[in-house]
Structure 1
């Protein structure tokens, strides 16, 4: 047969599949980027937007963005809308873990093959592919006698070969601490093998992202653990769930979502996790200290813990997080090791002036896209002294477009106070211009109509200092009657803000307060069905909202968001720090 190419790589999950090849040279976040019920790519910024993954050999460099991608992939495998196989340039733990859990829970699987960056670049333009173990075949047309294998039942082998185990590890693996802990240890060890770890470490705390409801499979997984007697072995907090557990009926949420989403939160609490329900666990009193070994999921929290707090965690996939919480043991790999926390990418910023709070999420979004899976060092902010809210916004947007679990900012983040100490090996240098940032600004501002129907604040969850800033902007004013201004936050921060007097000001303004959940899970009717355009100061939500809720977005500073809430109109003004870029761009076209 003409046009046949054969490649080989590392099999992350064994199996065989054949089908049309769907290729992209940009990483894809399955959560927020793929509909878990249909398999459609809904990330409107991605080159595969609108494509359906079901039955196709999906070739992407890696995943990126949310840790919940593992849950979405598990849902797709369970409901028959998954790709036939995954072909990756780099090993991806989030996506691989989704397949491993589907094997354990549903006895269904798909092959995952890593072929390296050089070979991956050669897939562009190929029409069909087959995966068989470590081998990848590429074809101009499918062989006439080839039928694409369906997801079939698999037998999962659990082995601890090559990994040092303690006596307690073996007791967990042998089932002496119950079925749930045994299965959890099996999954931990399978991931440790894939990661190349040779030993496990004790962890001090966990933050669980798997409590987000992605569909029936996510609830089934948690309830199965409860039935097996699961109990966490370390202090464990819970991420935002998919509804405000106390008020979802009052907010008009469909019981088809409200009931199972609330039950999912209850299931994790039944395992001993704390009722925290926040995507910003670093705002809790239990936030880890520098050097502390932890297991956190939720991409923005992982990045903040590593980068701003100096704690030690990988970007843990959903379900591996609870497995480690049930065993108290994690693979000693990646950012748990000092040597793996170094930067291989150096981002140099241009001279900057007149920065507002929209700068930091925009920069995080831009740097994340440049970084991919590389840990970056950003230089040029030493004199601007970004505060914790700025770093929170930067990190959330960075984690949206990057697969890296850590960033360094020269002279700002704790490990980069001496920037030279975080650079290691061959380092790529990229100079970012204001014109580059203007391009990203236009990407996040997808709305053309200046009308604003909803102002979305609190992605990630609002901090006490953000409440104080917002209350100052809203004092003595009132939102336009046709605009919804809603803020999502954790319960603990809400009570702090109420005690400080900020909530009274915001309620007088006409704001809606939502706890337990976050904007990435909110839809109608919190967003009115008639709403066309949203406005937000979150780079993360500006990226995800067009795909998640089908609305266009205005992205701007918090002050601009409040002005728009009062006028129902986005000013369209560029921040002062970007106006120079426009002037230069206009000059270039003269």
Structure 2
């Protein structure tokens, strides 16, 4: 007889299922980490890399990384490649929202159960799991009984029973404002109840991440809203979409992707969103001010808005973002509240030599993994005075490995100019001390390439800023890239025109670079990346993490200067940054 362990938790989405248990103690980003067509785990840094989710009970501490994870999970549910159930240590809004939308649009679902960290640890080494409502039973072998999952009716939507509603909220919920805002309010209230909110707040603007094409389900969702007459109620910008809408044919993108991806962007613009198509909305003139209550999706943008601008947003899942934009109302929870913006982890960094721009994405990547879902306060960076581009790169990499929507840097970010302001009085906050040898391990993790030849240099993840274009132009002036190397930069249309007016683009194009707008490297593939290319180089910690799974190429991660030098030589130097070299000496005491 197989031995079993019975556990109980909090049912986030009700249902019953059983299957082989697929366990990992590391959070998983479904976007960039799971193929939405097949259900394969493609995050090559994750312990489940290569596993297929379909029909299995997936047990992970939480999601992490991209807000588009909800869209990927919805695609998997719609195409039959989803796990049979999700078991989490911590409640995850992004993944839960994907299931809620699948219920609404496709009338399909799967159970989502949160059991807490202590119970979650008991799942290690178990072979089989059975979920039924709030109950979980795990077995060390497959049980031979005849248990069958009972049919679970989809919930009757009685959203809002636990939430304090205004008269306007009720008019939305009752359908008096139209079908689209009614559906949107139902989803907002379902999520508010799951989050434990008691009321809603007004938001001033939205940034929509759901315009990324993950498959037919993502387009069907948007077009259904358009058919219902959806119109946004607050100023709304759009994230990078999956293609350069003006040039996808010229760039050789297949119509099978180009047409629906472009149509998805059009659908959101039909709802009243602005044609912005950037993953860096903080570079636009419409960027929010400190204290402004907003709803932004796209993980790097959320982290930048909260941490660098001092605005207030959660890490909103795809589809919840548009639902809030259609209603103008968001749950009053999380980083919208002062108390939820406090640091829960102190991170001390070592004394460092003069830094280059590769340091900040590497540090963000490393701290994100340490932090998990905790908001960190980083100590020791004030003397280095990181600039906005440094914080942008740090935040994007941090958002890749962390589930937290916010970081603080003592003496640098606005809420931590006085670090005591982001610490609870008398609170015992755990401390992590980073050493150079730790950063060397993360450097090696991001540098997956084993050959020195480089085929593609990837810049602009997140989208390039005007100051990054200026820096790149200085590095490129009077030089020309190697004829066998593609150097491509992704950026938003607004920043491209600013850089062109400043004279930077002429220099960069003379160098031989390719400029791509509207989309981002997380969506780019062949033929922008030549089919024969085997090795990429990037200065983005985010893309260095995702690229091996997304495009199947090995990656060199380095500074912008090294990227330009390599574009000219087609060969990576393999040099460690000066500030990281002491770690190598410490690792190898006898060093020649």
- TM-score interval, normalised by the smaller of the two chains: over 0.9
| Separation in structure 1 between the aligned mates of residue 155 and residue 10 of structure 2, nearest angstrom | 20
* C-alpha contact 2:89 2:116 (8 A) present in aligned 1: yes
The answer for unaligned runs of 5 or more in structure 2 is none
Deviation at 1:420? Answer: 1.5
| Separation in structure 1 between the aligned mates of residue 263 and residue 530 of structure 2, nearest angstrom | 25
1:335 corresponds to 2:335: yes
| Structure 1 match to 2:49 | 49
Q: How does 1:203-218 map onto structure 2 within 5 Å?
A: 203-218=203-218
Deviation at 1:286? Answer: 0.1
Deviation at 1:154? Answer: 2.3
Q: TM-score, structure 1 length as denominator?
A: 0.99
| Separation in structure 2 between the aligned mates of residue 537 and residue 498 of structure 1, nearest angstrom | 22
SS of the residue aligned with 1:192? helix
| Structure 2 match to 1:297 | 297
1:136 corresponds to 2:99: no
| Separation in structure 1 between the aligned mates of residue 164 and residue 94 of structure 2, nearest angstrom | 24
Q: How does 1:195-206 map onto structure 2 within 5 Å?
A: 195-206=195-206
Aligned-residue CA RMSD (Å): 1.2
| Separation in structure 2 between the aligned mates of residue 148 and residue 91 of structure 1, nearest angstrom | 26
Deviation at 1:146? Answer: 3.7
1:430 corresponds to 2:451: no
Deviation at 1:426? Answer: 2.4
Kindly tell me the number of residue pairs found equivalent between the two proteins.
590
| Structure 2 match to 1:69 | 69
| Structure 1 match to 2:348 | 348
Q: TM-score, structure 2 length as denominator?
A: 0.98
SS of the residue aligned with 1:224? helix
* C-alpha contact 2:16 2:152 (8 A) present in aligned 1: no
| Separation in structure 1 between the aligned mates of residue 244 and residue 449 of structure 2, nearest angstrom | 28
Deviation at 1:80? Answer: 0.3
| Structure 2 match to 1:314 | 314
* C-alpha contact 1:107 1:153 (8 A) present in aligned 2: no
* C-alpha contact 1:231 1:271 (8 A) present in aligned 2: yes
| Structure 1 match to 2:32 | 32
| Separation in structure 1 between the aligned mates of residue 148 and residue 539 of structure 2, nearest angstrom | 45
| Separation in structure 1 between the aligned mates of residue 46 and residue 159 of structure 2, nearest angstrom | 38
* C-alpha contact 1:199 1:331 (8 A) present in aligned 2: yes
| Separation in structure 2 between the aligned mates of residue 22 and residue 307 of structure 1, nearest angstrom | 35
Deviation at 1:152? Answer: 7.2
| Separation in structure 1 between the aligned mates of residue 147 and residue 463 of structure 2, nearest angstrom | 48
Q: How does 1:472-487 map onto structure 2 within 5 Å?
A: 472-487=474-489
SS of the residue aligned with 1:383? helix
| Separation in structure 2 between the aligned mates of residue 342 and residue 243 of structure 1, nearest angstrom | 38
Question: Per-residue displacement from partner, 1:38-94 (whole Å, max 9, x unpaired)?
Answer: 000000000000000000000000000000000000000000000000000000000
| Separation in structure 1 between the aligned mates of residue 464 and residue 376 of structure 2, nearest angstrom | 26
| Separation in structure 2 between the aligned mates of residue 472 and residue 279 of structure 1, nearest angstrom | 25
Deviation at 1:141? Answer: 2.8
* C-alpha contact 1:21 1:56 (8 A) present in aligned 2: yes
SS of the residue aligned with 2:383? coil
SS of the residue aligned with 1:33? coil
Q: Measured at CA, do residues 559 and 58 of structure 1 come closer, stay the same or move farther in structure 2, by a change above 3 Å?
A: same
| Structure 2 match to 1:492 | 494
| Structure 2 match to 1:241 | 241
| Structure 2 match to 1:112 | 112
Select which of 438, 442, 446 maps to 1:444.
Answer: 446
Question: Per-residue displacement from partner, 1:179-215 (whole Å, max 9, x unpaired)?
Answer: 0000000000000000000000000000000000000
Q: Measured at CA, do residues 41 and 213 of structure 1 come closer, stay the same or move farther in structure 2, by a change above 3 Å?
A: same
| Structure 1 match to 2:563 | 561
Q: Measured at CA, do residues 150 and 535 of structure 1 come closer, stay the same or move farther in structure 2, by a change above 3 Å?
A: farther
Q: Measured at CA, do residues 290 and 151 of structure 1 come closer, stay the same or move farther in structure 2, by a change above 3 Å?
A: farther
Deviation at 1:512? Answer: 0.1
Question: Per-residue displacement from partner, 1:439-472 (whole Å, max 9, x unpaired)?
Answer: 0000000001000000000000000000000000
* C-alpha contact 1:376 1:407 (8 A) present in aligned 2: yes
| Structure 1 match to 2:376 | 376
Q: How does 1:513-524 map onto structure 2 within 5 Å?
A: 513-524=515-526
Deviation at 1:151? Answer: 9.0
